[in-house]
């Protein structure tokens, strides 16, 4: 696994730093938050001053549950307040970006300019919009960033409490869609290792529980599915409804369970002026190429993109054009 091969780079960067900031992608999910929490435990053991940067105003249910339950146990900070905690000696600060490597997808890209020493730990493909001035620890063979952090925890033989093991397991379960996508022997071993530390499958399901009203809203997206080139499912939400990013992702996951469908694209409003796209693939269709053209990020199995100040119809037209080009 790449993260163990690159452990010296991580160790060197961490050793030099006194104050470390962890930052995931916008619209935190269980993998981004879980990997931040897991890594923060390791850093605290090494007696590092550590903060998790979270600017999201709204959270998906699982993330919200964790943040409430860990209130007072982890240092969460908004990016606008990091100047109060940043070390006066610039070379003693370190920013670690987890679960994304794209400039436009981090919680706050202004933070990238404030801290010179940067390290990226991620499992998504690197592209033209990736962070350039950072040590890049990238392993596309990993199911999730939580899997990568679990490997580090095992390597350092660091005993973590069962609740934290559960959080890391929930990130793996989320990103593999309950071990149906992107799984390898390393993924199953990471899950086994976390279980040996007391991770609870029952608690994972609690973190993944859905709101019934949200479920009913998502079902509306299932009523207008277009089948493109016989193997791609596409659906578009109503322009009058604002969805959470995780809702679009869940619909994209569900569409892969239908016969002959190899990939899915789901678009909908995730803000008054923001449109979200979630894409999924079984690995046999190149969604990564399409996402890159759209300015999004991801890998061969899943990804996302955001569009500002445009319409659902325009986004739909663009996506379908790229799907048609891919099929030629």
Residue 259 is classified by DSSP as: T
Q: What is the pLDDT of residue 301?
A: 85
Provide the edge-to-edge strand list for the sheet that holds 19-23: 76-77, 49-53, 19-23, 93-98, 118-122, 135-138
Question: Domain check: are 197 and 227 in the same one?
Answer: no
Q: What is the pLDDT of residue 296?
A: 84
Question: Domain check: are 175 and 227 in the same one?
Answer: no
Question: Domain check: are 124 and 233 in the same one?
Answer: no
Which pair of structure tokens corresponds to residue 124?
């998504």
Question: Domain check: are 141 and 102 in the same one?
Answer: yes
The domain containing residue 158 runs over which residues? 2-207
Provide the edge-to-edge strand list for the sheet that holds 297-298: 225-228, 232-236, 263-269, 274-281, 302-308, 297-298
Q: What is the pLDDT of residue 125?
A: 85
Question: Domain check: are 103 and 45 in the same one?
Answer: yes
What one-character-per-residue DSSP string does 178-227 give?
A: TTTSS--HHHHHHHHHHHHTT--HHHHHHHT---HHHHHHHHHHTTSEEE
Choose the final residue of a domain: 186, 207, 228: 207
- Tell me the CATH number at 224: 3.10.310.30
Choose the final residue of a domain: 154, 187, 207: 207
Q: At a CB cut-off of 8 Å and minimum separation 6, what does 196 contact?
A: none
Closest CA to 52 of 87, 190, 142, 70: 70
Question: Domain check: are 35 and 147 in the same one?
Answer: yes
Question: Domain check: are 83 and 18 in the same one?
Answer: yes
Choose the final residue of a domain: 179, 207, 235: 207
Closest CA to 125 of 116, 135, 136: 136
Residue carrying structure tokens 């809702």: 247
| Mean pLDDT per 10-residue interval, the chain, length 328 residues | 87 95 95 98 94 94 95 95 90 96 93 96 89 95 96 93 98 93 94 97 92 85 89 94 88 93 95 93 90 84 89 95 82
Question: Domain check: are 185 and 278 in the same one?
Answer: no
Burial label for 279, CB within 10 Å (0-12, 13-18, 19+), is: buried
Question: Domain check: are 171 and 222 in the same one?
Answer: no
Whether residue 212 lies inside any domain: the answer is no
Whether residue 213 lies inside any domain: the answer is no
User: Rounded to whole angstroms, how far apart are CA atoms 111 and 108?
Assistant: 6
Q: What's the longest Cα–Cα distance across the chain? A: 58
Whether residue 230 lies inside any domain: the answer is yes
Q: What is the pLDDT of residue 298?
A: 77
Whether residue 7 lies inside any domain: the answer is yes
User: Rounded to whole angstroms, how far apart are CA atoms 144 and 122?
Assistant: 8
Q: What is the pLDDT of residue 78?
A: 96
Question: Domain check: are 198 and 224 in the same one?
Answer: no
Closest CA to 226 of 154, 298, 316: 316
Question: Domain check: are 188 and 243 in the same one?
Answer: no
Whether residue 25 lies inside any domain: the answer is yes
Whether residue 199 lies inside any domain: the answer is yes
Question: Domain check: are 21 and 158 in the same one?
Answer: yes
User: Rounded to whole angstroms, how far apart are CA atoms 257 and 244?
Assistant: 22
Whether residue 17 lies inside any domain: the answer is yes
How many domains does the chain contain in total? Answer: 2
State the first-to-last Cα distance of the chain, in angstroms, to the nearest integer.
36
User: Rounded to whole angstroms, how far apart are CA atoms 97 and 134?
Assistant: 9
pTM here is 0.84
Whether residue 262 lies inside any domain: the answer is yes
Which pair of structure tokens corresponds to residue 184?
């390898």
- Tell me the CATH number at 127: 3.90.1640.10
């Amino acid at each position: 696994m790449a993260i163990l091969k690159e452990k010296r780079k991580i160790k060197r960067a961490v050793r030099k730093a006194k104050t470390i900031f962890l930052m995931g992608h916008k619209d935190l999910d269980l993998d981004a938050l879980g990997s931040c929490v897991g890594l923060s435990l390791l850093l605290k053991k090494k007696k590092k001053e550590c903060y998790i940067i979270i600017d999201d105003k709204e959270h998906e249910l699982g993330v919200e549950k964790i943040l409430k339950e860990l209130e007072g146990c982890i240092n969460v900070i908004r990016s606008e307040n990091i100047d109060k905690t940043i070390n006066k000696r610039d070379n003693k600060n370190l920013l670690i970006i987890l679960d994304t490597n794209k400039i436009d997808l981090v919680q706050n890209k202004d933070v990238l300019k404030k801290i010179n020493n940067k390290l990226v730990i991620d499992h998504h493909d690197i592209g033209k919009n990736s962070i350039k001035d950072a040590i890049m620890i990238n392993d596309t063979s990993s199911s999730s960033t939580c899997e990568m952090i679990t490997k580090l925890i095992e390597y350092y033989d660091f005993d973590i409490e069962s609740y934290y093991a559960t959080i890391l397991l929930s990130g793996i379960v989320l990103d593999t869609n309950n071990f149906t996508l992107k799984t390898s022997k390393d993924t199953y071993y990471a899950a086994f290792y976390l279980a040996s530390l007391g991770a609870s499958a029952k608690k994972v399901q609690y973190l993944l529980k859905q709101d019934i009203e949200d479920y009913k809203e998502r079902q509306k997206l299932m009523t207008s599915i277009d089948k493109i080139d016989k193997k791609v499912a596409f659906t578009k939400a109503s322009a009058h409804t604002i969805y959470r990013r995780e809702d679009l992702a869940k619909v994209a996951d569900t569409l892969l369970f239908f016969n002959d469908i190899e990939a899915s694209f789901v678009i909908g409003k995730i803000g008054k002026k923001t449109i979200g796209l979630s894409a999924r693939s079984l690995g046999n269709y190149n969604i990564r190429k399409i996402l890159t053209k759209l300015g999004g990020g991801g890998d061969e199995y899943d990804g996302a993109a955001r569009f500002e100040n445009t319409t659902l119809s325009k986004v739909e037209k663009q996506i379908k054009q790229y799907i048609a080009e891919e099929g030629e």
